[in-house]
């Protein structure tokens, strides 16, 4: 009985252990079977040199490989796998890169996600975000088209290109040194501008401030322009009178010039005499000032002394002023002696 129970318990334990082992094995298989990778599908116009197993890189660092390359009409579908730990930007471009003419090509993502959204698993990148290098046959075809366009059946059908080249050669013949000097001067000009870029930009900045000031004072500038327009209009309307005045002024100046030329000696003599007169006036300026102060009073006294009835000047005099100082005055008790100038 006990043996049967032990066998049942053992069987249950083995079954549980087997289930747990299967779960662990399944989890490990899911983890290590590539579940950490992301897949992306990109469409190209062409995918020459790209095969299953080609590198997938991000900014030159390998992060995965191409799974398959499948033509889809005029486009090529390329599926890729890359490490899910790499933060590829959601708006990245997908490019086919050819390191050299003969080296294998690889597919490259162009942009890291940084702190932005990342490219999700099973994302699809359309053809407008993919790019391929120019192939040699395309380059040869472009060169062939160019030579055909410039050839005898194209632009040079009437010899226009040949005439252009001949004319250019004729113009440059003998002018190689001058052309070389022109190129050298242009290079010096470029270096000068580069060496004075701060001054150049400062000038541009000051011009910008000046134009901003003009824009801010547009009303005043318009008023000045209107006033200038009025002045010029007035001058235009009176141009005949103005021309006559200028002609008269010109004639008068010519007459003055002739007068001065003919009377130079007399003018010099008068100027010299005037210098003497002015020097005398300067020396006697104090007397002149006193005369100018007393003259109005004297004229007033003369007018007041004039008697219109008799036509004479009337006045009073102090006879004592005419006596000799120190003599006794008559009819005085006690005698009064005169003092100089006394009354």
Q: Provide the β-strand partners of residue 65.
A: 55, 81
67/110 same-domain check: yes
| Contact assessment for residue 140 and residue 57, using Cβ atoms and an 8 Å cutoff | no
Q: Cα separation of 52 and 339, whole Å?
A: 152
pLDDT at 161: 73
Most confident by average pLDDT, 45-54, 132-141, 166-175, 332-341:
45-54
pLDDT at 246: 86
Structure confidence at residue 42 as a pLDDT band (50, 70, 90)? very high
pLDDT at 125: 92
pLDDT at 43: 95
CB contact burial 236-265 (16+ within 10 A = b; e otherwise): eeeeeeeeeeeeeeeeeeeeeeeeeeeeee
pLDDT at 40: 93
43/124 same-domain check: yes
Tell me the pLDDT tens digit for each residue of 51-97. Answer: 899 999 988 889 999 999 999 888 999 999 998 888 998 999 999 98
Q: Provide the β-strand partners of residue 43.
A: 77
Query: What is the enclosing helix (H) or strand (E) of 199?
Result: helix 197-216
In a domain, 328, yes or no: no
71/126 same-domain check: yes
Structure confidence at residue 285 as a pLDDT band (50, 70, 90)? confident
Indicate whether this model's pTM tops 0.85.
Answer: no
In a domain, 108, yes or no: yes
Is 340's pLDDT higher than 50? Answer: no
Q: Who's near 337: CB < 8 A, 6+ residues apart? A: 326, 327, 328, 329
73/126 same-domain check: yes
Residue 69 phi/psi, 5-degree rounding, is: -130, 115
Mean pLDDT of the chain: 80
Which residue, chain included where needed, has tokens 């008790």? Answer: 333
190/274 same-domain check: no
In a domain, 324, yes or no: no
pLDDT at 141: 73
Helix axes 197-216, 218-237, angle to 10 degrees: 80
In a domain, 25, yes or no: no
198/267 same-domain check: no
148/191 same-domain check: no
112/39 same-domain check: yes
50/91 same-domain check: yes
pLDDT at 6: 67
The mean pLDDT value for 38-61 works out to 89
pLDDT at 283: 86
Per the structure block, which two tokens stand in for 175?
């002018």
Structure confidence at residue 14 as a pLDDT band (50, 70, 90)? low
pLDDT at 222: 86
In a domain, 282, yes or no: yes
Domain that holds residue 151: 144-169
Q: Who's near 321: CB < 8 A, 6+ residues apart? A: 341
pLDDT at 60: 84
In a domain, 204, yes or no: yes
Tell me the pLDDT tens digit for each residue of 19-31. Answer: 676 766 655 444 4
In a domain, 251, yes or no: no
Q: What is the DSSP letter of 67?
A: E
Q: Cα separation of 73 and 220, whole Å?
A: 70
Per the structure block, which two tokens stand in for 6?
């032990």
pLDDT at 25: 65
Structure confidence at residue 33 as a pLDDT band (50, 70, 90)? very low
Residue 150 phi/psi, 5-degree rounding, is: -95, -5
293/233 same-domain check: no
39/101 same-domain check: yes
The mean pLDDT value for 143-158 works out to 74
Is 156's pLDDT higher than 90? Answer: no
Per the structure block, which two tokens stand in for 95?
């490019």
Domains: count for the chain: 4
Tell me the pLDDT tens digit for each residue of 121-134. Answer: 999 999 999 988 87
pLDDT at 31: 47
287/200 same-domain check: no
In a domain, 45, yes or no: yes
Structure confidence at residue 240 as a pLDDT band (50, 70, 90)? confident
């Amino acid at each position: 009985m006990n043996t049967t129970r032990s066998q049942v318990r053992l069987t249950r334990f083995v079954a549980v252990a087997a289930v747990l082992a299967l779960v662990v094995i399944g989890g490990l298989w899911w983890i290590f079977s590539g579940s950490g990778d992301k897949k992306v599908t990109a469409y190209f116009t062409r995918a020459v040199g790209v095969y299953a197993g080609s590198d997938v890189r991000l900014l030159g660092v390998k992060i995965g490989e191409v799974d398959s390359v499948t033509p889809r009409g005029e486009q090529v579908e390329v599926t890729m796998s890359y490490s899910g730990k790499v933060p590829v930007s959601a708006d990245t471009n997908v490019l086919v890169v050819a390191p050299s003419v003969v080296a294998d090509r690889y597919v490259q993502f162009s942009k890291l996600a940084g702190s932005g959204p990342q490219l999700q698993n099973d994302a699809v990148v359309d053809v407008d975000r993919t790019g391929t290098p120019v192939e040699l046959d395309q380059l040869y075809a472009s060169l062939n088209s160019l030579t055909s366009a410039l050839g005898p059946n194209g632009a040079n059908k009437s010899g226009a290109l040949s005439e252009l080249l001949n004319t250019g050669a004729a113009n440059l013949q003998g002018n190689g040194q001058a052309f070389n000097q022109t190129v050298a001067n242009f290079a010096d000009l470029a270096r000068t501008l580069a060496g004075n870029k701060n001054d150049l930009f400062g000038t541009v900045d000051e011009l910008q401030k000046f134009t901003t000031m003009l824009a801010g004072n547009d009303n005043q500038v318009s008023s000045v322009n209107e006033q200038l327009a009025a002045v010029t209009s007035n001058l235009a309307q009176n141009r005949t009178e103005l021309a006559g005045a200028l002609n008269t002024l010109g004639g008068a100046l010519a007459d003055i010039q002739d007068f001065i030329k003919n009377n130079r000696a007399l003018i010099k003599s008068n100027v010299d005499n005037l210098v003497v007169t002015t020097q005398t006036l300067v020396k006697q300026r104090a007397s002149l000032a006193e005369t100018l102060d007393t003259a109005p009073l004297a004229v007033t006294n003369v007018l007041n002394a004039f008697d219109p009835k008799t036509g004479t000047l009337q006045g009073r005099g102090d006879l004592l002023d005419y006596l000799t100082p120190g003599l006794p005055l008559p009819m005085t008790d006690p005698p009064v002696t005169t003092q100089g100038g006394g009354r």
